[in-house]
Structure 1
Amino acid sequence: MKKSYLVYLFIFLFFFVSCKDNSETLDENVVFEEEKELLDVAYGDDAQQKYDIYLPSNRSASKTKVIVLVHGGAWIGGDKADMKGVYDVLKITSSEYALVNINYRLATFNLQPFPMQIYDIKSVVEDLKSKSREYGILNEYAFVGVSAGAHLSMLYSYKDDTEKRVKAVVDVVGPTDFLHSSYTDSPNIETQQAALGLQLVIGKFIENDPNYFESISPRYAVTASSPPTIMFYGGVDVLAPFQQGEVLKQTLDSFGVTNEYYFYPNAEHDLGDENIADALAKSTTFIHTHLK
């Protein structure tokens, strides 16, 4: 009797597992014909931990990859609304991809940005992964970041994407090396103030703890397996000096990582409308090439 029971139990478990596997295979290939948009999706308990997601028509978890947008604001400000223009353009020019426009917790003098904001990006990716079949998306990504958002995008993609799910990074005026002389020895007052402001928010100072500032500088996290990166910098930018892009390019080149660097000699930190349009066009081509 006991032996017979075990045989039946084995047969039941065999068919249960088989059916489960078949179901999951089918789920991955389900095609969602209608486009869908969800706003202010919570990925954590904090009010700032929300994202908007655009899901294109004819998507599925076996083919539809994701572009993640990360706003700037010196790690203490900004909002996903700042990326709405980029979001709207990509809905048209990159309609085969899902778009995710994220908010993350903003730093204060009592709340340090790192690793908190990197943790938030990880949480977004985990949330998307857990909802892959519900949304009809594949867990492969391109990150598009501006200023502090570019810094966070690079730092996550080079250092914390252990599964190598990020296939492309767009860096628009992002800081890459806080130890570089363009920050530490800049004669420009605004650059000095920006560098000091970050140190005050972090509660650490470069001269006292250079190793920490190396650990949060994307340049030092580059390896031969880092994702292809496209960079945009302005020649008169005092918040993210163009040398930040140059040293990142040198590092990417030294590791043989595919990259493109674009320099707008007369542009400030916002690059200007004409240059932004050019950067967005180049970024779209770059994403299509590496996220295909």
Structure 2
Amino acid sequence: MQEPVFLRQSVTSTPSLYKYLNRFIGTINVIVFIASIVYFLNPSTHAGWNVLGGIYIVLLLSNGLLIYLKPYTTTFMLWYPFLLAISMLTMGILNYSISNSYEAKPLMQMVVYIAFLLPLFVASISTFLEERYFEPHKLFKIILIVMVGFVYLLGFYFSSIIVVPYEHGVIEAIVTSFSLLFGFVFFAATILISKLIDNRKLLFIAGGIGLIITSIHFLPFLSTQSTIVNLDKQFKEAFQEPTNNKSFLRHPFSIPAYFVGMPQQDIQIEKDVIFYEDDDITLRFDVFMPKESQTTKHPVLVRIHGGAWKSGDKGADNVMQMNKYFADQGYVVYDIQYGLSTLTTYDLGIDTPMHLIGPFTMDDMLSHIGIFTNYLAEHANEYKADLDSVFFSGGSAGGQLATATALAIENGSYNDIFSDTITVKGLIPFYPANKSARAINITGRDEFLEPENLIRESSPPTLIYQGKNDSLVDWETAQSFKDKSMEKGNKHVAIGYMPFAGHASDYYFPGFYNQVFLYYMERFMWMYK
């Protein structure tokens, strides 16, 4: 194999500058490996740990740079990109699974930790080993180049989702929230192609494409600080200076938590409690409660899943770790079902529980939620639920339903539907589809289809999560809600705009978008509970 001219070196000796750089970065790998274990033993969202997270990211990039600079090919150089990609995908998949499981998953969490450490471990070992020149078989090289080509095609598609807001369906939720992990997968492909192509011009083109794709996937992560600054400004203008509590997140974003997940909560869970049943439908809820609490009453958070009013369900379809997180914060959290409509043919491509579907209008769905509020009022003592401190939250269609419910209860004119014993203290809709129901043939009362028509000066304070690149619910829908509130004299509305974020970009619970919003959401609820 003839080495590229600009990399050609004797395979028997490594330039001294490269050798020193290799040993230095290898030593840092070892230090970060040890520091990471310390973090795993006592995970925290303290801002100081972001130093570790930042160095971890730089190290992964530096390890790739070392592979590119190495004047000859070794076995490690071909395996490291695969290990890096597998580690990133493993962390993303398992963190999502852990977040959306009712039970704790300690074995899965251990695998996540191993996946985090694996690139550091392999890079550390490689640094201090003398590896021989390795010439991959020509057919093997062709197979690898074809594989990288497919990865690049996927990278182009994912990049278009991040940069250009057009409708992609469920994949939109995956790409933007996992973008940093995917960025390292595409970086791994770039490293690999750099060791497979001998032609300088082709290497420049292929490497440049890979770096562009990687950079685009890093954009959402790099915009995190501006997200924090903008949301902090909105929060202070609409409410007041965010309060602090020892149980709150200590910083709006933890880089290590993005990779290895957030700590699991030790709480009580009751699943599939029936709150309504007739010949047509049976509705259930899950309730998440603080464990062994001595408090006589707890504030309540009611969460309503999305799914275009025709699909979705409680549980894994509704960011379950959010329920567990706030139960650990002292709330009684209800994750509820409602009837799903057959009146629309719109399809998000997600599961539809067949026992919940029927020709339901918007009025019917809100009637189902109203039945739950009456059940809650009747059974509040069983769950130590404080009816004078209730919050509503939901995403997309669930955000619209949560908005309509909260505003209708506060309005006081719908006591035939909702319990009049509930006091709504706050509303937290995620990308609420407040203007979308009519467009997909959902029928009902005007004020229920477009709940901003229910806004009054006395409407509850509202904190909204909204992706700027959401192709299903335009960011202007959230802005319209705020404008209407201001018009009515209600200034207590803030919007957390998430740069590059698509629809359902909060579904990766330890993701940068969700962490930032969670930091302000818990303070918002504490302030008004």
Counterpart of 2:470 in structure 1 is 237
Deviation at 1:222, TM superposition (A): 0.3
Matched, 1:173 2:431: yes
Deviation at 1:214, TM superposition (A): 4.9
Q: 1:59 to 1:177 in 2, by over 3 A?
A: farther
Q: 1:127 to 1:214 in 2, by over 3 A?
A: closer
AA at the equivalent of 1:216: L
The equivalent position to 1:261 in structure 2, one of 479, 495, 498, is: 495
Larger radius of gyration: 2
Task: Tell me the TM-score normalized by structure 2.
Answer: 0.41
AA at the equivalent of 1:260: A
AA at the equivalent of 2:324: D
Q: 1:266 to 1:257 in 2, by over 3 A?
A: same
Query: Where in structure 2 are the equivalents of 1:209-224 lying within 5 Å?
Result: 212-224=445-457
- Check the 8 A contact 1:71/1:79 in 2, yes or no: yes
CA distance in 2, matches of 1:68, 1:98: 8
SS in structure 2 at match of 1:43: strand
The equivalent position to 1:40 in structure 2, one of 263, 267, 272, is: 272
Deviation at 1:134, TM superposition (A): 2.3
AA at the equivalent of 2:408: K
Runs (5+) with no aligned partner, structure 2: 1-266, 344-357, 413-419
What do residues 180-237 of structure 1 show as CA deviations (whole Å, max 9, x unaligned)?
A: xxxxxxxxxxxxxx864x22x43x8xxxxxxx54552111110111111001111221
Counterpart of 2:481 in structure 1 is 248
The equivalent position to 1:51 in structure 2, one of 285, 291, 302, is: 285
Q: 1:37 to 1:227 in 2, by over 3 A?
A: same
Deviation at 1:271, TM superposition (A): 2.3
Q: 1:143 to 1:215 in 2, by over 3 A?
A: closer
Counterpart of 1:65 in structure 2 is 299
Query: Where in structure 2 are the equivalents of 1:113-152 lying within 5 Å?
Result: 113-139=361-387, 140-152=389-401
Q: 1:42 to 1:122 in 2, by over 3 A?
A: same
- Check the 8 A contact 1:68/1:102 in 2, yes or no: yes
CA distance in 2, matches of 1:263, 1:277: 13
The equivalent position to 2:521 in structure 1, one of 254, 278, 283, is: 283
Q: CA RMSD in A?
A: 2.3
Deviation at 1:59, TM superposition (A): 5.1
- Check the 8 A contact 1:60/1:137 in 2, yes or no: no
AA at the equivalent of 2:473: A
Matched, 1:97 2:331: yes
CA distance in 2, matches of 1:39, 1:159: 28
SS in structure 1 at match of 2:386: coil
SS in structure 1 at match of 2:298: coil
Count of aligned pairs between the two proteins = 230
More helix by share: 2
Identity percentage over the alignment? 22
Matched, 1:111 2:346: no
Deviation at 1:108, TM superposition (A): 1.1
Task: Tell me the TM-score normalized by structure 1.
Answer: 0.72
CA distance in 2, matches of 1:38, 1:153: 22
